[in-house]
Amino acid sequence: MQTDVFKSHRSFILELTLRYCLSFTVLLLLLGGLSYFSLRRVLYENLDQGLQVIGRSEADFASKGQHLHLHPTANVNPGSDTHTLPRYVQIVNPEGQILAVNFAHQTAPLPLELKRLHSNNKQAQYLTVHYQKADFRQLYLPFSYQNQVYFLIVVSPLRPLQSTLDSVFNAYFWLSTLLLCLAGIMGWLLAHDAVKPLHRITLTAQAIGVGQLSERIPIAPDTPREFAELTAVLNQMLARLENAVQNLKQFSADASHELKTPLSVLKGELQVALRRERNPQEYQALLNSNLEEVNRLIALTEGLLALSRWEQEEPQKGESNLQALFKELQARYADLAQKQKIDLKIEVPEKNLHCPVARLYLSQILSNLLDNALRFSQAQQTVWLRAGETKEQVWIQVQDQGPGIAPDEQKKIFERFYQIEASRSENRSHFGIGLSLSKAITEAHQGQIKVVSSPRQGACFEVRFPKS
Domains present along the chain, CATH in parentheses: 25-166 (3.30.450), 225-308 (1.10.287), 314-466 (3.30.565.10)
Q: What is the pLDDT, as a whole number, of residue 275?
A: 79
Q: What is the pLDDT, as a whole number, of residue 425?
A: 44
Segment 252-277 mean pLDDT: 73
Segment 125-149 mean pLDDT: 84
With bands split at pLDDT 50, 70 and 90, how would you rate the model's confidence at 432?
low
Segment 168-192 mean pLDDT: 90
Angle at CA 19, nearest 5°, toward 198 and 203?
Answer: 15
Q: What is the pLDDT, as a whole number, of residue 252?
A: 72
Q: What is the pLDDT, as a whole number, of residue 465?
A: 93
Label residue 79 left, alpha or beta by phi (over 0 means left) and psi (-120 to 50 means alpha).
Answer: left
The answer on pLDDT for 41 being more than 90 is yes
Angle at CA 271, nearest 5°, toward 266 and 275?
Answer: 150
What's the rounded Cα separation, in Å, for the pair 41 and 43? Answer: 6
Q: What is the pLDDT, as a whole number, of residue 80?
A: 40
Q: What is the pLDDT, as a whole number, of residue 83?
A: 43
Report the chain's mean pLDDT, rounded to a whole number. Answer: 79
The answer on pLDDT for 1 being more than 50 is no
With bands split at pLDDT 50, 70 and 90, how would you rate the model's confidence at 364?
confident
Segment 354-362 mean pLDDT: 88
What's the rounded Cα separation, in Å, for the pair 363 and 330? Answer: 12
Exposure of 429 by Cβ count < 10 A (0-12 exposed, 13-18 middle, 19+ buried)?
exposed
Question: Where do the DSSP E strands lie in 30-121?
Answer: 88-92, 98-101
pLDDT in tens, 208-256: 776 667 777 777 777 777 778 878 888 888 788 777 777 677 667 666 7
What's the rounded Cα separation, in Å, for the pair 465 and 355? Answer: 7
What's the rounded Cα separation, in Å, for the pair 101 and 94? Answer: 16
pLDDT higher for 78 or 89? Answer: 89
Q: What is the pLDDT, as a whole number, of residue 228?
A: 80
Q: What is the pLDDT, as a whole number, of residue 303?
A: 65
Please say whether the beta carbons of 186 and 16 come within 8 A: no
Please say whether the beta carbons of 376 and 398 come within 8 A: no
The least confident of 144-153, 155-164, 396-405 is 144-153
What's the rounded Cα separation, in Å, for the pair 116 and 96? Answer: 10
Segment 79-83 mean pLDDT: 42
pLDDT higher for 179 or 70? Answer: 179
Give percent above pLDDT 70 in the chain: 80
Rounded alpha-carbon distances, angstroms, from residue 97 to 112, 145, 414: 10, 15, 113
Segment 285-294 mean pLDDT: 78
Half-sphere exposure in the Cβ direction for 4 (13 Å, CA): 1
Please say whether the beta carbons of 415 and 431 come within 8 A: no
Element (H, E) at 7: none
Segment 351-356 mean pLDDT: 86
Please say whether the beta carbons of 139 and 55 come within 8 A: yes
Q: What is the pLDDT, as a whole number, of residue 82?
A: 42
Rounded-to-5 percentages of helix, strand, coil across the chain: 55, 15, 30
What's the rounded Cα separation, in Å, for the pair 462 and 468? Answer: 19
What's the rounded Cα separation, in Å, for the pair 452 and 438? Answer: 16
Buried b (16+ CB within 10 A) or exposed e, 210-223: eeebeebbebeeeb
Specify which residues 183 forms β-bridges with.
Answer: none
pLDDT in tens, 413-429: 887 767 665 544 444 45
With bands split at pLDDT 50, 70 and 90, how would you rate the model's confidence at 404?
confident
pTM: 0.49
With bands split at pLDDT 50, 70 and 90, how would you rate the model's confidence at 310?
low
Give percent above pLDDT 90 in the chain: 19
Q: How many CB atoms lie under 10 A from the CB of residue 22?
A: 11
Please enumerate in sequence order all residues whose Cβ is within 8 A of that of 46, keeping only pairs 6 or more positions apart, or say none.
none
Q: What is the pLDDT, as a whole number, of residue 128?
A: 86
